[in-house]
Amino acid sequence: MEDKGTSGFPVNGLSANEDSISLFTQAITQHRAGKLGEAKFLYEKLLAIDQNHVGALSNLGTILLCGGHFEEGIRSIRRSLEINPDQPVALNNLGAAIQALNRPDEALASYERAIFLKADYPEAHNSRASALLSLNRPDEALTSCERALALRPDFAAAHNNRGEIMQRLHRLDEALKSYDHALSLSPDFAEAHNNRGNALKDLGRWGEALVSYDRALAIKPDSAEVHCNRGHVLQRLNRLEESLSSLDRALVLKPGYAKAYYLRGGTLQYLKRMDLALASYERAIDLGFDLPSIHSARIYSKLSCCSWEGLDASLRTVMNAIDLGKSVSYPLAILAMPLTPAQLQRCARNCIQDMYLTRPVPVWRGERYHHDRVRIGYFSSDYSDHPVSQLISRLIESHDRNRFEIIGFSLGSSIDDVWRRRMEKAFDRFVDVEKNPDAEIATLARHLELDIAVDLNGFTGNDRLLVFARRVAPVQINYLGYPGTIGADYMDYIIADSTVIPPEHRAYYDEKIVYLPHSFQANDSSKEISDRFFTRAELGLPDGAFVFCSFNNSFKITPDLFDIWMRLLGTVQNSVLWLSETNPTAAGNLVHEAVKRGVSPDRLIFAPRTQNLADHLARHRQADLFLDSFYFNAHTNASNALWAGLPVLTRLGENFAGRVAASLLNAVGLPELITLNHADYEALAIELATQPERLAAIRRKLALNRTTHPLFDTARFTRNIEAAYSKMYIRYLAGLAPEHIVVDGPPA
């Protein structure tokens, strides 16, 4: 066995000159004791006497490498090898140094030469495995690592290396076992604790991962990598301020750490500090971080901040990555950009493919359940004051309990608000699984014998798509949370209507389409509008002005849309644009963009968030016309406006997300507010703003239709979606594969 001292590199015991033995022996003694400064002095003293002393050259090189002086260390070891090329230890150390400089091809050649000279050299076999893994040749790496362990079964570093290889192969349970074996041999092995945390993180066992990272830091407190990983898992645990502290600590220790800047951007994004998130993403890109996902994250941040410079170039970068089959993170980040349905499908498929190389083992394997009622599980991270709960609460309450048993799986943080309490009460059974790993959630769902599992998240925050990848129910449905295809064969259906997914678009969805007869969107017919009367002065709106309104999130506002809005303000005298104040940076940038287009800043008015939905709906009374966004329409905001009696003007887009407002308008009997292109959208906005009689007629029609048409008829919608569930369930019982389903609505 080689002695590595505390340097991490094997110490070469060769001596080229018998007269130098005493001095060399002293140097090796200091080296093995970890006294590298003293050893370095003695090696240099020896080389002053004998400049060709092979052992001194080799070992001095390892000390230089430990000090981060890679080029000097490599030169010293190479000089040793020029004198005596048959040194396996020196060749192994040389390979490690070259690999540290990110030249794995050269390192591999050095390791293989060492093995040629000494076939039973476990360190070289293990090092070779590491180089092969760096070259993305994990199967060959595993063979080499197994050879190292056959030669030396108690080789902790090789067990750790095997864990990394298994992790690359997405054999996470085996990776975990290898890390545990390494730690049983070497409990203070900080790298193995860190890697164990990474495997647990990939398994969705974030709390356990945090424990492993903390153990690694107890041993090696100044590891930037571990602080970075810890920040990532704290982000997933929604402990965002702690996440930010860990990532900032990583950047103190390693100021140019691109990955930490990238993850920091994500944490800041969750904290709604969009300007700081954008700055972090930009810094990561400047430092050379090149994962395609960062470009989509930057797009989302730029849109959220209404910072549009370079937007087209960023989109081209993302689209090129999609076309090359690369994952660019969640499609949600780029839904507000002008993409085709085919591009979004490719984006989703790439994202799903990137989640795993080996499909998780399904927990439902064809068993037949025998229940008195069809058992449906709704999975969401948004059972709180969130649009999903605002839309779906009345549906859950209205389900026919004689035919259906309804179970809620809460994937997100438990926020004690009125919506959370309402959702907990609405379900027959409510299960909080926020802190459970994906595999445990899947096992629990299987134990509860779900007939149908409905994912209300899709590609949105705190998603748990890997739960559905484990096939938790015979029928799995994508609904409401993400307006588009998941791109995965384990999602059987997507609930839609003929407006959001016309028949000619079916090919762009990996799910089979379930067509509801009016609109796909659930709505709450009991939604309260506050009796409070807001004056225009109270809201900061000028009396007598025509108020264009758009309460969409700022990331849905694109430059071409804003150009039209500013032309409307220029054309319609005494008009203002009333926007939601989603973040101060966006508001400031929009004011700046307005001025660039010749519009006075006082024509833009920003509405702060209200304390409750009822008040928010009430203040819609002071707006005249809701202007929809193009590529990612208003969804809940559009139905809120219509419920409050405010007409919504939209433009029919290409994708699901850009066709939702049209679906709502059709279902409320106002198809005349759907336009087909930018020019018609602008022209109709001007007509409605300058022809008060015409707009008043539309408002009267909306006031009547909101209580007589299907959009807000929750009872009718519930019957329709239950009919859809029954059709899916009957196909499953008959042993038939999923197929497109059309639901004929019941009579009014």
Domain of residue 399, CATH code = 3.40.50.11380
What is the per-residue pLDDT across 689-740, written as a single tens digit (0 to 9) for each? 999 999 999 999 999 999 999 999 999 999 999 999 999 999 999 999 999 9
Dihedral pair phi/psi, residue 380, rounded to 5°: -155, 150
Dihedral pair phi/psi, residue 514, rounded to 5°: -105, 115
DSSP class of 380 = E
Which among 203, 151, 196, 153 is positioned nearest to 178, based on CA atoms? 196
- Indicate if 510 and 544 belong to the same structural domain: no
- Indicate if 480 and 551 belong to the same structural domain: no
CATH number at residue 30: 1.25.40.10
Check: CB of residue 174 under 8 Å from CB of residue 166: yes
Q: What is the pLDDT of residue 358?
A: 67
Nearest-angstrom CA–CA distance, 227 and 424:
37
Six-digit token string for 373:
């009622």
Q: What is the pLDDT of residue 734?
A: 95
Nearest-angstrom CA–CA distance, 300 and 270:
12
Q: What is the pLDDT of residue 426?
A: 98
What is the per-residue pLDDT across 604-643, written as a single tens digit (0 to 9) for each? 999 999 989 999 999 999 999 999 999 999 999 999 999 9
Six-digit token string for 639:
């139905």
- Could you tell me the sign of the dihedral formed by the alpha carbons of 175, 176, 182, 185, in that order? negative
Helices (H), 412-539: 418-426, 438-447, 465-469, 536-539
Q: What is the pLDDT of residue 612?
A: 93
For residue 307, tell me if it sits in a domain.
no
Cα end-to-end distance, the chain, whole Å: 84
CA angle, 374 then 375 then 381, to 5°: 140
For residue 355, tell me if it sits in a domain.
no
Nearest-angstrom CA–CA distance, 102 and 734:
57
Q: How far is CA 99 from CA 63, 105, 543, 711, in A?
A: 16, 8, 71, 63
Single pTM value for the model? 0.89
- Indicate if 509 and 545 belong to the same structural domain: no
- Indicate if 493 and 563 belong to the same structural domain: no
DSSP class of 478 = E
Which among 652, 629, 650 is positioned nearest to 553, based on CA atoms? 629
- Indicate if 551 and 595 belong to the same structural domain: yes
For residue 293, tell me if it sits in a domain.
no
For residue 597, tell me if it sits in a domain.
yes
* Mean of the per-residue pLDDT values of the chain: 94
For residue 480, tell me if it sits in a domain.
yes
> Low-confidence residues of the chain, pLDDT below 50?
1-7, 14-16, 747-748
For residue 108, tell me if it sits in a domain.
yes
Determine the structural domain holding residue 673 and report its residue range.
536-712
Which among 656, 622, 655, 659 is positioned nearest to 638, based on CA atoms? 659
Q: What is the pLDDT of residue 342?
A: 96
- Indicate if 478 and 593 belong to the same structural domain: no
Q: Is residue 660 classed exposed, middle or buried when 0-12, 13-18 and 19+ CB atoms within 10 A define those classes?
A: buried
Six-digit token string for 123:
């360190």
Six-digit token string for 491:
């999602």
Q: What is the pLDDT of residue 6?
A: 41
Among residues 122, 153, 184, the one where a domain terminates is 153
CA 700 to chain centroid, in Å, comes to 44
Domain count, the chain: 3
Which among 424, 258, 339, 208 is positioned nearest to 632, based on CA atoms? 339
Dihedral pair phi/psi, residue 206, rounded to 5°: -70, -40
- Indicate if 547 and 507 belong to the same structural domain: no
- Indicate if 618 and 705 belong to the same structural domain: yes
- Indicate if 701 and 570 belong to the same structural domain: yes
For residue 470, tell me if it sits in a domain.
yes
Among residues 137, 153, 169, the one where a domain terminates is 153
- Indicate if 505 and 629 belong to the same structural domain: no
Which strands make up the sheet holding 648-651, listed edge to edge?
Answer: 604-607, 575-580, 546-550, 625-627, 648-651, 674-675
Query: What is the number of other CB atoms lying within 10 angstroms of the CB of residue 319?
Result: 19
For residue 483, tell me if it sits in a domain.
yes
- Indicate if 484 and 542 belong to the same structural domain: no
**Between helices 274-286 and 292-304, what is the axis angle to 10°?**
150
Q: Tell me if residue 32 falls in helix, strand or coil.
A: helix
- Indicate if 554 and 697 belong to the same structural domain: yes
Give me the count of residues in the chain: 748
Maximum C-alpha span of the chain: 109
Check: CB of residue 72 under 8 Å from CB of residue 94: no
Find residue 651's DSSP bridge partners.
Answer: 675
Q: How far is CA 279 from CA 6, 275, 286, 317, 486, in A?
A: 40, 6, 10, 19, 30
Among residues 515, 549, 578, the one where a domain terminates is 515
